[in-house]
């Protein structure tokens, strides 16, 4: 247990560093994201949703996430749902971020890749445990889990 605490602290520090990196390059990534989500529609057609990837559309886990890792994330977040519902949104988001960083470190998930593709968390939860995904988004009052991840 004492070894897990330094690992969790190191992972939290890594997330904070990533938060600083993403904030400094925000204008470039915002421009890049805006270009990626441009949708053209013909007259009379309804706008299409941006492509979220074939794995998500097919109901598969994202690359780099094993079924065992997905189950571990579901269990960890499921165990924290009540506290996320009980406390205000900010402590709930802190809890979410702590669980995700600890889970990533324990399951060999690349934190840099996860920071660049935070939708992997939503995809993993939607495929493996939609009830937990819905519980987290409801408790934190966010449209998706990715939007509650700090620095990602």
Q: Count the neighbouring beta carbons within 10 Å of the beta carbon of residue 14.
A: 17
Least confident of 27-31, 51-55, 69-73: 27-31
Is residue 140 included in any domain, yes or no? yes
- For 33-54, give one letter per residue: b (16+ CB within 10 A) or e: eeeeeeeeeeeeeeeeeeeeee
What the block records as the tokens of 128 is 């493996």
Q: Supply the range of the domain harboring residue 74.
A: 66-152
The answer to whether 72 touches 66, Cβ cutoff 8 Å, is no
- Asked if pLDDT for residue 51 goes beyond 90, the answer is no
Asked whether residue 53 is assigned to any structural domain, the reply reads: no
Q: Is 25 within a domain?
A: no
Band of pLDDT at residue 150, cut at 50, 70 and 90: confident
State the total domains in the chain.
Answer: 1
In a domain, 5, yes or no: no
Distance CA 20, CA 94 (A): 17
Sign of CA dihedral 67, 12, 99, 4: positive
Return d(Cα 118, Cα 111) in angstroms, integer.
10
> Do 90 and 23 meet the contact criterion of CB atoms below 8 Å apart?
no
Model pTM score: 0.62
> Does residue 150 lie in a domain region?
yes
Is 82 within the bounds of a domain?
Answer: yes
Taking alpha carbons only, the member of 137, 106, 139 closest to residue 121 is: 137
């Amino acid at each position: 247990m004492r070894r897990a605490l330094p690992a969790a602290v190191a992972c939290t520090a890594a997330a904070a560093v990533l938060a600083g990196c993403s904030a400094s390059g925000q204008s470039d990534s915002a421009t890049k994201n805006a270009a990626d989500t441009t949708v053209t529609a013909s007259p009379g057609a309804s706008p299409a949703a941006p492509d979220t990837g074939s794995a998500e559309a097919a109901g598969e886990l994202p690359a780099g996430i094993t079924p065992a890792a997905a189950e571990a994330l579901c269990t960890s977040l499921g165990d924290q749902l009540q506290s996320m519902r009980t406390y205000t949104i900010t402590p709930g988001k802190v809890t979410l971020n702590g669980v995700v960083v600890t889970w990533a470190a324990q399951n060999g998930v690349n934190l840099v890749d996860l920071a660049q593709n935070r939708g992997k968390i939503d995809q993993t939860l939607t495929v493996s445990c939609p009830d937990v995904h819905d519980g987290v988004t409801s408790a934190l009052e966010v449209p998706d889990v990715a939007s509650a991840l700090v620095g990602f």
